[in-house]
Chains A and B, each alone.
Chain A
Amino acid sequence: MKELVCIVCPNGCKIIIDDNGDILNAKCNRGIVFATEEATSPKRTVCSTVATTFSDFPVLPVRSSAEINKIDIPACMNALNNVLLDRRVGRGEIIIKDVLGSGVDIISTSSMQYTYCDVETPDDGSKDNA
């Protein structure tokens, strides 16, 4: 028997996989899909940041466009730590294509145009706050 908590929605169903492999207590189909996957190859969406050269926006929030294998999270974080973004991107733009050959992209989750909406910002990123 295995107990897990569904992370698909805020209900957080406590799902039980019994010794016959039957999935109990899931309130919806997505929970059953989650539990099946969780028992075989657990997957997670990775949400993190990448560094930029812009002093007014030092890090850009990013996420994986779909879930990746849980065991690949450290390697994915490593890949993200090697990024230094020197262009201003929009929301949804691809930052790393096909990360770790997973078929999943790392995408921007924020639009850098929303920095200081009504304030002029340096474009070249070379200026420092100092």
Chain B
Amino acid sequence: MNYDVTVIGGGPAGLAAAIAANKENASVLLVEREARLGGILKQCIHDGFGLVTFGEKLTGPEYCERYIDELLQTDVSVKLLTFVTRIEKNADGFAIHFVNREGAAHVQTRAIVLATGCRERTAKQVFIHGTRPSGVFTAGTAQYYVNLMGELPVKRCVILGSGDIGLIMARRLTMEGAEVIGVYEAKPEPSGLPRNLYQCLDDFGIPLHLSHTVTRVFGDERLTAVEIAQVDKNMRPIANTEKIIECDGLILSVGLIPENELAESIDVAIDRRTKGPICDQKYMTMEKGVFCAGNALHVNDLVDYVTLSAVEAGRNSAYLTNKPRALVHVVAEEGILYTVPSVLDVNEPVSDVTLYFRASRELRNAMLTLRVDGRAVFQKKYSVLRPPEMERLKLNFAQYGITTDSEVSLSLKEVE
């Protein structure tokens, strides 16, 4: 089979990209490895999704099913329980190899949209000493047990990390009758949104301990206790602050990493900071014909932004041309952790670019400055910026006369 666009991943990014490409009359295939569309939103049963796109406070399932409803009205081909094993570049684009219940097969496609989402950091990636008992879960796994399987995986637990999923699970486990002893965060600042600290922890009297971490786990078959210690500025445990807490569960909410095994397999250049592919304003990666959207590109705080980026990626994937690109980097300078896109293709329109960025640290009264060849061409003041909160900025780069020789940079500085 031949398709104009193959979308890999059936979560919010994949759904929006497939619908958008279909609207541009592209023939589209959507490949999803699970039995149901919707991605992680299936298990995100709490509300707060869709305020930007729908102006409503929806739950995860409600949000994704609106897109599933729409997708099923189109002639997009959907392959469920289908796992992409390999992508092969060829003269006409790409061959996508996959396996499913019918066996192994492949399709030919002109463009790809990578919408593979992100994965949680696991216990192995945070270096906790001790035994390997059961009872140590990532927050997403605990969420899967509770919200999709209807099982309570812990009775009395500790949560390590103050990411939003961890906070959401602190509330969820408490509501279902488990005891959440506390949330421990190694950093001096919480990483979740303030509203989640308020409605998930404060509402239920769950304490948040900043500058604390789990240093050891105990238990043979099942977790019996964890050791908690205070940490210093460099996040190293401080001697003699250790405390043993008896529990049968340790929930980890210690960060998300874009999932890009497929991208790397075809040598798509990855941004060190976002851990997702480097892309231009059309969401095309450095590999011609390969687009990327959603959490595979960079971890978003709002699904609404995932959808918006995927609509762009999907639409652009339908109009793949052989036109050469003229790329200019947007250099992230002082105060900026990263920007997405980080590259502009000046052979394509740059008059309406949505730039997402994160501050590298908490900043108050910060001035954002866009410089072209050293000259400040755009400035905006922010009263407060925090790394966990992504900012969105619409910019018209066309007015700055940018060419491939231009030096474009973005910086943030605190001002009086």
A79 within 8 A of B: no
Q: Which residue of A lies closest to B59 (CB)?
A: A109
Q: How large is the interface on B (under 10, 10 to 19, 20 to 34, 35 or more residues)?
A: 35 or more
Q: How large is the interface on A (under 10, 10 to 19, 20 to 34, 35 or more residues)?
A: 20 to 34
Q: Which of B48, B150, B193, B302 contacts A59 (CB 8 A)?
A: B150
Q: How far is the CB of A74 from chain B (nearest CB, A)?
A: 8
CA distance A89 to B250 in the complex (A): 35
With a CB–CB cut-off of 8 A, which chain B residues contact A10?
48, 51, 193, 195, 301-302
Q: Which residue of B lies closest to A117 (CB)?
A: B80
With a CB–CB cut-off of 8 A, which chain B residues contact A70?
203
- Tell whether, in the assembled complex, residue A114 and residue B38 are in contact, meaning their CB atoms are under 8 Å apart: yes
Q: Which of A45, A59, A73 contacts B147 (CB 8 A)?
A: A59
Q: Which of B248-262 contact A (CB under 8 A)?
A: none
- Tell whether, in the assembled complex, residue B148 and residue A59 are in contact, meaning their CB atoms are under 8 Å apart: yes
A residues engaging B (CB < 8 A)? 4-10, 12, 14, 44-45, 47-49, 51, 58-59, 61, 63, 70, 73, 77, 91, 109-111, 114-119
Q: Which residue of B lies closest to A45 (CB)?
A: B47
Would you list the 6 A-B pairs with minimal beta carbon distance, nearest first? A59-B150, A5-B198, A12-B194, A12-B195, A61-B45, A110-B61
Known interface pairs A7-B198, A110-B65. Does A47 touch B45 (Cβ–Cβ under 8 Å)? yes
14 of the cross-chain contacts (CB-CB < 8 Å) are A4-B198, A5-B195, A10-B51, A45-B57, A47-B45, A59-B149, A70-B203, A77-B176, A91-B62, A91-B65, A110-B61, A114-B38, A116-B35, A119-B80
- Tell whether, in the assembled complex, residue A12 and residue B193 are in contact, meaning their CB atoms are under 8 Å apart: yes
- Tell whether, in the assembled complex, residue A9 and residue B51 are in contact, meaning their CB atoms are under 8 Å apart: yes
- Tell whether, in the assembled complex, residue A61 and residue B195 are in contact, meaning their CB atoms are under 8 Å apart: no
- Tell whether, in the assembled complex, residue B198 and residue A116 are in contact, meaning their CB atoms are under 8 Å apart: no
CA distance A111 to B146 in the complex (A): 18
With a CB–CB cut-off of 8 A, which chain A residues contact B147?
49, 59, 61
CA distance A7 to B199 in the complex (A): 7
CA distance A122 to B308 in the complex (A): 37
For B76-96 the 0/1 string (1 means CB < 8 A from A) is 001011000000000000000
B residues engaging A (CB < 8 A)? 35-38, 42, 45-48, 51, 57, 59, 61-62, 65, 68, 78, 80-81, 146-150, 175-176, 193-195, 197-199, 203, 301-302
Q: Which residue of A lies closest to B192 (CB)?
A: A12
With a CB–CB cut-off of 8 A, which chain A residues contact B51?
9-10
With a CB–CB cut-off of 8 A, which chain A residues contact B37?
114, 117
- Tell whether, in the assembled complex, residue A115 and residue B46 are in contact, meaning their CB atoms are under 8 Å apart: no
Total inter-chain residue pairs, C-beta < 8 Å: 90
With a CB–CB cut-off of 8 A, which chain A residues contact B302?
10
- Tell whether, in the assembled complex, residue A115 and residue B36 are in contact, meaning their CB atoms are under 8 Å apart: yes
- Tell whether, in the assembled complex, residue B198 and residue A47 are in contact, meaning their CB atoms are under 8 Å apart: no
With a CB–CB cut-off of 8 A, which chain B residues contact A47?
45-47, 59
- Tell whether, in the assembled complex, residue B150 and residue A58 are in contact, meaning their CB atoms are under 8 Å apart: yes
With a CB–CB cut-off of 8 A, which chain B residues contact A63?
45, 47, 59
With a CB–CB cut-off of 8 A, which chain A residues contact B38?
114
- Tell whether, in the assembled complex, residue A48 and residue B47 are in contact, meaning their CB atoms are under 8 Å apart: no
Q: Which residue of B lies closest to A115 (CB)?
A: B36
Q: Which residue of A lies closest to B58 (CB)?
A: A109
Q: How far is the CB of B192 from chain A (nearest CB, A)?
A: 10
Q: Which of B57, B175, B197 contacts A77 (CB 8 A)?
A: B175
CA distance A40 to B51 in the complex (A): 26
With a CB–CB cut-off of 8 A, which chain B residues contact A119?
35, 80-81
- Tell whether, in the assembled complex, residue A5 and residue B197 are in contact, meaning their CB atoms are under 8 Å apart: yes
CA distance A70 to B199 in the complex (A): 11
- Tell whether, in the assembled complex, residue A114 and residue B62 are in contact, meaning their CB atoms are under 8 Å apart: no
CA distance A73 to B175 in the complex (A): 8
CA distance A70 to B175 in the complex (A): 12
With a CB–CB cut-off of 8 A, which chain B residues contact A14?
194
Q: Which residue of A lies closest to B34 (CB)?
A: A116
Q: How far is the CB of A72 from chain B (nearest CB, A)?
A: 13
With a CB–CB cut-off of 8 A, which chain B residues contact A4?
198
With a CB–CB cut-off of 8 A, which chain A residues contact B68?
114
Q: Which residue of B lies closest to A77 (CB)?
A: B175
Q: Which residue of A lies closest to B43 (CB)?
A: A61
Q: Which of B48, B195, B301 has the most CB of A within 10 A?
A: B195
Q: Which residue of A lies closest to B149 (CB)?
A: A58
